[in-house]
Amino acid sequence: MPADAKPAMAEGEGPPSAMGAFTVAIDGPAGAGKGTVAHSLAERYGFAHLDTGLLYRAVGKLAMDTGRGVIDEGAAELIARDLRAEHLGIDGLRSALAARAASRVAKFPGVRKALIAYQRSFARRPGGAVLDGRDIGTVICPEAEVKLYLVATPEARAERRYRELEEAGADTSLGRVLAELRARDAQDAARTAAPMKQAADAHLLDTTEMDIDAAAAAAAAIVDDALNRAAS
């Protein structure tokens, strides 16, 4: 730490009340640990946290429910425009069905436009914010003070996701989870609108061999450095 830098906040201390916007953007494929690291950072610094994937899952789930299994683009756009925080707590958002619905509505320009506005407003709130997703550092918050891009091998990510689904009582298999994960990776990387990719100035963290504590600590060290530089 530079001699003239101020020490970063201790865990649980939270940001000073006068702190303005400070955004941590976390991107990467499913199962790389984005949500876990984002939640840890939010708790450590007292930042607000938004799992942006839940926005698309909520819109997809609500659109599917409204259409009785059929997703209509116009209905999905109206839902996205009216999306509120409480919608992120509805049942079934972590299911494979909701994930597929999210991928579908993410292709609709009107849905993306509405949810981009939601995310940008959240990101620049006073007091700091952590957002995790797939295009936060490249599209949503290119001005973020900290950008992280988390990766892990497909096998490691599939194993993590499979354990989550198994604990939730889902009827699936590791092979199926891996196949779906590979398909989602290919779709996210190839889409024309905001493809998943590492921002040029993002810190790369490979969590393949990391446990939760190690990944969170590595991310916190990067945030600490940015906070110290901002305070110096």
Query: What does the pLDDT look like over 116-158, one tens digit per residue?
Result: 999 999 999 999 999 999 999 999 999 999 999 999 999 999 9
Give per-residue pLDDT as tens, 172-197.
899 999 999 998 888 888 777 778 89
Largest CA distance in the chain: 62
Residue 190, C-beta contacts closer than 8 angstroms, at least 6 positions apart: none
Cα distance between residue 218 and residue 149, in whole Å: 12
**Stretch 102-107: mean pLDDT:** 90
pTM assigned to the model: 0.84
Sign, Cα dihedral of 97, 209, 9, 7: negative
User: How many of the other CB atoms lie within 10 Å of CB of 227?
Assistant: 22
Q: Between 205 and 95, where is the model more confident?
A: 205
Taking a C-beta distance cutoff of 8 angstroms, is the pair 191, 108 a contact?
no
